[in-house]
């Protein structure tokens, strides 16, 4: 191996220059890597600006229900945006005396303009008070509710 310098002092200076060059190259590579990362990484805070609509209905053959009986809650959700969206679709119920229940929840990917139907069978608890019982479907985008639908049935 042939070095450009012949003395020990000259060799030391040569190594220092090479080390400084390597440090500069490593810094430049790190800066380029970070700039690529930040230029391509999506922002994680805030909703994606999704657009959705929702509706819900209850099917049991009448306008009233008795505690302990199962019935069908049918929700519809539509992605009205022009791009694919990932939404959390949640069903809940609320009795007239404030008894709230989370019925079901799922994360669904909707294509642009796609509508999904969500049939959920639910058994009304025996301790549900009489009066109106409200079923709600909520569609959320990153924690922000973007659409809801409600319907009411009478508990006897």
Closest CA to 77 of 66, 86, 65, 64: 86
Estimate to the nearest angstrom the gap between the alpha carbon of 17 and the chain centroid: 52
Q: How high is the pLDDT of residue 103?
A: 93
Q: Is 35 helix (H, G, I), strand (E, B) or coil?
A: helix
β-bridge pairing 100-110 and 85-95: antiparallel
Q: Which DSSP category does 34 fall into?
A: H
- DSSP letters for 69-104: -EEEEEEEEEE-SSS-EEEEEEEEEEETTS-EEEEE
Q: Within the chain, how many helices (H) and strands (E) appear?
A: 1, 8
Closest CA to 53 of 100, 129, 116: 116
Given its phi and psi angles, is residue 145 left (phi above 0), alpha (psi -120 to 50 degrees) or beta? beta
Which CATH number applies to 52-155?
A: 2.60.40.10
- Sketch the domain layout of the chain as residue ranges: 1-41, 52-155
Distance between CA atoms of residues 89 and 143, nearest Å: 11
Successive 10-residue mean pLDDT values, the chain, 156 residues: 59 67 55 40 43 88 89 92 93 94 93 92 93 94 93 93
């Amino acid at each position: 191996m042939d070095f450009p310098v012949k003395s020990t002092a000259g060799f030391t200076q040569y190594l220092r220059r090479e080390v400084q060059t390597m440090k500069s190259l490593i810094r430049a590579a790190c800066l380029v890597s970070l700039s690529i990362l930040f230029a391509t990484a999506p922002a994680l805070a805030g909703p994606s600006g999704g657009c959705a609509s929702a509706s819900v209905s209850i099917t049991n053959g009448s306008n009233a229900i008795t505690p302990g009986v199962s019935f069908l809650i049918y929700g519809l959700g539509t992605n009205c945006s022009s791009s694919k969206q990932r939404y959390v679709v949640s069903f809940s119920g609320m009795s007239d005396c404030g008894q709230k229940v989370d019925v079901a929840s799922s994360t669904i990917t909707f294509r642009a303009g796609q509508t999904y139907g969500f049939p959920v069978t639910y058994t009304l608890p025996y301790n549900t008070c009489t009066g109106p019982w409200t079923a709600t479907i909520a569609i959320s985008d990153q924690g922000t509710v973007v659409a809801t639908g409600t319907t009411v049935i009478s508990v006897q």
